[in-house]
Amino acid sequence: MNRLIPVSTASDIPETYRQTPIGLLLEYHNLGRQQDTHDSARLLIGMCMDNRKQLQIPNNFSFIIRAGGANLRYSEFKVSFAIAVGGVTHMALIGHNHCGMVNLVSRKEQFIEGLMERGGWERDVAEQHFTHFAPLFEIGNEIDFILSETKRLRDRYPKVQVAPMLYLVEDNRLYLINEA
What's the average model confidence in pLDDT over 140-151? Answer: 96
- CATH number for the domain including 76? 3.40.1050.10
pLDDT above 90 (res 175):
yes
Q: Report the largest interatomic distance among the alpha carbons of the chain, rounded to a whole angstrom.
A: 55
Which regions of 28-156 does DSSP assign to beta strands (E)? 43-47, 62-66, 90-96
Q: What is the pLDDT of residues 78-126, one digit of tens each?
A: 999 999 999 999 999 999 999 999 999 999 999 999 999 999 999 999 9
The answer to whether 73 touches 135, Cβ cutoff 8 Å, is: no
Q: Are residues 80 and 146 in the same domain?
A: yes
- Provide the mean pLDDT of the chain: 96
Give residue 127's pLDDT band: very low, low, confident or very high (50, 70, 90).
very high
Report the pLDDT value the prediction gives residue 64, as an integer from 0 to 100: 97
Parent domain of 18: 4-100+141-177
Q: Are residues 71 and 159 in the same domain?
A: yes
Q: Are residues 94 and 113 in the same domain?
A: no
pLDDT above 70 (res 1):
no
Report the pLDDT value the prediction gives residue 107, as an integer from 0 to 100: 95
What's the pTM value of the predicted model, to 2 decimals? 0.94
Q: Are residues 133 and 149 in the same domain?
A: no
- Residues 23 and 34: their CA atoms lie apart, in Å, by 14
Report the pLDDT value the prediction gives residue 39, as an integer from 0 to 100: 94
Q: Are residues 19 and 72 in the same domain?
A: yes
The number of domains in the chain is: 2
Q: Are residues 31 and 110 in the same domain?
A: no
Q: Are residues 17 and 40 in the same domain?
A: yes
pLDDT above 90 (res 14):
yes
Three-state DSSP class for 104? Answer: helix
- Residues 88 and 160: their CA atoms lie apart, in Å, by 8
